[in-house]
Amino acid sequence: VLGLLVWTLIAGTEYFLYPAFGWVMFVAVFYWVLTVFFLIIYMTMTYTRIPQVPWTTVGLCFNGSAFILYLIAAIVDASSVTKELDSHNYNSWAASSFFAFLVTSCYAGNTYFSFISWRSRTLQ
């Protein structure tokens, strides 16, 4: 839900005029789609039917990459928000920056728990 807020707040503006917001949009939409994809896989328990895939490693790599790229995108988003660019879009961009940092913290926590799960799985 928070990732959805990030890209909808930016998509409602003239973000295409500023390349930095294009990067934030790419990261937000890309990881939102992948998160929904993995959510469907876990809710339908499809992962139990494909035991060849190391799901703990996949989850760790996904969450780790999401954390790193979202952190970069959140920093780019926050540093690109200025009143001089366009005062009409300022509030949307500022809110998207706030939610981008929230999403980053969520992925950081999920990366930590994925690492704990991966580590306990590899020690067995």
What digits encode the pLDDT tens for the residues 25-40?
999 999 999 999 999 9
Model pLDDT for residues 54-94, shown as the tens digit of each residue = 999 999 999 999 999 999 999 998 998 877 765 667 788 88
What is the rounded end-to-end Cα distance, in angstroms, of the chain?
A: 35
Q: Which amino acid is at 50?
A: I
What is the distance between the alpha carbons of residues 2 and 99, in angstroms, rounded to a whole number? 6
Model pLDDT for residues 3-25, shown as the tens digit of each residue = 888 888 888 877 777 788 889 89
- 102: tokens are 């929230």
Supply the pTM of this predicted model. 0.85
> Helix 90-123 and helix 55-80: axis angle, to 10°?
160
Q: Would you say how long the chain is, in residues? A: 124
